[in-house]
Amino acid sequence: MASTLDSYDGSSGDQVFRVETHGIDFIPETERWATPRNIGAMWAGTSINVEYFIYGALLINFGFSFYTTLSIIIIGNLSYLLLGVASLQGPEAGTTAFTISRAPFGSHGARILSFFNWITQLGFETEGLILIVGAVTVIIEISGGHVNSATKIILVILAAAIQAVMPYLGHATMVKVLRALILPFIAIFVLLAVYAIQHGTAVPAQSWGHGWEIYTAGLAFTFALSGLGWTECGNDYTRYLPRDAKKSSIVGWLFLATAVPEIFMMTLGATIFTFIPKLGTSSNPFEAMRGQHFIPTWAVMIFLFFAIVQLFGINSLDLYSSGVSLQSLGFRLKRYQAVVMDSIIAGLLTLWAVFQSTFNLYMGEFVAVIIVWIAPWFGILIADWIMRKFRYNAGELQKTDSSSIYYTGRLGISWSSIIAFVVGLVCSMMCFSKAPNYNFPLHWMTPISNHYSGADFSVPAGIIVAALVYFLLEKATGHVASQVKRQKGLEPNL
């Protein structure tokens, strides 16, 4: 079994370049091959990523000056501390995020949240596929070719098939491959940084981008697409850490591996936007890099090639998590079967998005979906974890029938958490800013943001309100306290 700090070979149950046998089942201690640094290396491999390069350009397109954008990027990426905290339950529970969610939401109530996460991961997969197809399209056009509708359909089908390979093989393969991608991508993005330093300027704010109200909208945008947007995936990977893994090391390595490279990536995207503004406004962001005179064609071609490879890498994390979310929903699928199914669905969604939407409009709509459900879910998960004194019974989490201590009520649904989730979701939506999406159609759903001229309080409102309501309801019903007492009688854990 691989157990040294520098090993990435997995264990007898999770070997590199072999199909992972584990789904949402418990990972025994004998197969906990990872270290916090291993998991950090995996996240680093996804963080030096072209998506965050594009996010930086989209963010400065809000109308901020470069230095204001930089401050939002730095503060917004502190949200990776949330990912660190939402990765601390995996070593104790030995299972995935939405199997752990059976504790606060009930054995069957957690299925509702699994559905939300499945939809979200499909959205991220679609985003990645849109960018992959966009990058390949520009490469073909630079090479003198022409891309018509039939060609785009073929590209989407091929991309959807290729992206399934790594998550099909599983956790250990993803850790090894994503770690290997770090240095090549650092090199290409350093090359881009040279051109950014030569041509970038601190552009003035555009006409509507003034004031603290839009600043908070920019922070919410960055939170959603950075740390908060990954919290629902954290425990899917830290379940391979031993139960006694140091919590500060987990949070530290994850934060270092994500926040630091993403601050650089988003800053680079914002800088290049200052001399290639179409980067943040084109229907295909990569189209802006064709025909401009600041970055030579050969450098653009290398950048696009590496972007495609890296986008496949980050999509592997989304596919892995969406696959185990399908299992948490109750579908009797093996994890790799769920990956294949999700690849097909993501491909179909990409076909729709490529022909019906622009990338920045898609992202504006998608950010709203991410914030309004992940924020309250995160608040409830952490409040419940604290109330349980940071302990779960792994065996009971694996049960879905009435014999489990986490089977709350007659239906296995914790109404305390469901009510808290709905209240948090509504509050988060009421505080969501329409600023990232000029055409947001449901203005009546965002009255608090409207009252404050587009200010966005959706993230803190969702987290704090949901956690507080859950805490008060659980204190009134005593369900968590009762389960903690029952859990003591069931020790030792698996």
| Residue 80 placed within a domain | yes
Confidence of residue 191 (pLDDT cuts 50, 70, 90): confident
DSSP structure class, residue 460: H
pLDDT of res. 2: 35
pLDDT of res. 3: 34
pLDDT of res. 424: 96
Q: Which is more confident, 315 or 483?
A: 483
- Domain span at residue 174 reads 10-371
Whether residue 141 is predicted with pLDDT greater than 50 in this model: the reply is: yes
Whether residue 443 is predicted with pLDDT greater than 90 in this model: the reply is: no
pLDDT of res. 281: 67
> pLDDT tens digit string along 339-361?
788 888 888 888 887 777 666 66
> Is 67:201 a contact under the CB 8 Å cutoff?
no
Whether residue 99 is predicted with pLDDT greater than 90 in this model: the reply is: yes
- Pinpoint the alpha helices (H) of 229-296: 234-238, 247-273
Highest mean pLDDT among 35-44, 89-98, 364-373: 89-98
**Averaged pLDDT for residues 381-400:** 92
Closest CA to 338 of 91, 121, 38: 121
Q: Poorest-confidence range of 87-91, 92-96, 160-164, 435-439?
A: 435-439
Confidence of residue 365 (pLDDT cuts 50, 70, 90): low
Whether residue 181 is predicted with pLDDT greater than 70 in this model: the reply is: no
Whether residue 382 is predicted with pLDDT greater than 70 in this model: the reply is: yes
Q: Which residues contact 59 (CB under 8 A, 6 or more apart)?
A: 69, 72, 73, 218, 221, 222, 266, 270
> pLDDT tens digit string along 9-63?
333 444 544 555 566 788 888 888 889 998 998 888 778 778 888 888 888 888 8
Confidence of residue 208 (pLDDT cuts 50, 70, 90): very low
What span, in angstroms and rounded, lies between the C-alpha atoms of 132 and 110? 33
CA 73 to centroid of chain Cα atoms:
17
pLDDT of res. 287: 82
| Residue 14 placed within a domain | yes
Q: Poorest-confidence range of 167-171, 336-340, 387-391?
A: 167-171
Confidence of residue 280 (pLDDT cuts 50, 70, 90): low
Q: Which is more confident, 150 or 292?
A: 150
pLDDT of res. 167: 58
CATH for 288: 1.10.4160.10
Whole-number average pLDDT of the chain: 82
- Count of C-beta atoms within a 10 Å radius of residue 207: 6
Domain tally for the chain? 1
Whether residue 470 is predicted with pLDDT greater than 80 in this model: the reply is: yes
| Residue 26 placed within a domain | yes
Half-sphere exposure in the Cβ direction for 460 (13 Å, CA)? 7
| Residue 454 placed within a domain | no
| Residue 494 placed within a domain | no
- Hey, which residues does 85 pair with through a beta bridge? none
Whether residue 200 is predicted with pLDDT greater than 80 in this model: the reply is: no
**Averaged pLDDT for residues 174-182:** 65
Closest CA to 303 of 182, 185, 127: 185
pLDDT of res. 362: 64
End-to-end CA distance of the chain: 20
> Which H or E run contains 10?
strand 10-11
DSSP structure class, residue 291: S
| Residue 4 placed within a domain | no
Place of tokens 């009971």: 396
What span, in angstroms and rounded, lies between the C-alpha atoms of 142 and 140? 6
pLDDT of res. 335: 67
Whether residue 78 is predicted with pLDDT greater than 70 in this model: the reply is: yes
- Count of C-beta atoms within a 10 Å radius of residue 388: 19
| Residue 408 placed within a domain | no
pLDDT of res. 481: 86
pLDDT of res. 313: 75
pLDDT of res. 1: 32
Q: Which percentage of the chain shows pLDDT scores above 90?
A: 32
**Averaged pLDDT for residues 102-127:** 89
Confidence of residue 327 (pLDDT cuts 50, 70, 90): confident
**Averaged pLDDT for residues 137-141:** 91
Rg (CA), the chain: 22
| Residue 254 placed within a domain | yes
pLDDT of res. 325: 83
